[in-house]
Structure 1
């Protein structure tokens, strides 16, 4: 399995503008749930720390294979999400890594 982690710093000159941007990201990401072949799970978290060096949002998605992750990149649901977010992202960080599937492990 491949875990895809993306973190964003969002545009906004006030707490209200940043909150609006955070809600848009959450709604846009959650709209992809169940739409992407090979995506096993997707979660979006919003920062609760409030520290100035924190990202505003983090997406964590698990894919059954590298091929499934690559398909996600060009899937219409993902492209709609990217279009909906437009330029509200001022920084984006990403890490993709292989994880062991423990769902079939025997104790």
Structure 2
């Protein structure tokens, strides 16, 4: 069963411009992962465009073939490297993993 992985980050840059640069760098690194990590079915990254004072700065929404593929993604060396890059720029992280069961 497909698993959706959603992560949002609030970045630690002191200014809106610094956070925007961080967000762009994070997005670029994340977008490399589907080419090297198996089991990814869909993958998108969003940078916040409005209400930056209250919204999170970056969101990742990815679908994985199944829980095993999500588990493989978590420990894949390319993902681990990107996660380390992100952690250096993050003030807060939020995440949700859920099985997609069809129409709601």
CA RMSD of aligned residues (A): 1.4
1:61-91 deviation digits (Å, cap 9, x = unpaired)? 0001001000111001101111222420100
Instruction: State TM-score, norm by structure 1.
Output: 0.88
1:20-54 deviation digits (Å, cap 9, x = unpaired)? 11111101101112211111111000011124221
Displacement of 1:58: 0.4
Question: How many residues are aligned here?
Answer: 102
Instruction: State TM-score, norm by structure 2.
Output: 0.90
- Partner residue, 1:35: 36
Unaligned regions of 5+ residues in structure 1, if any?
103-107
Indicate the SS of the match to 2:55.
coil
| Cα pair 1:8 1:89 within 8 Å, conserved | yes
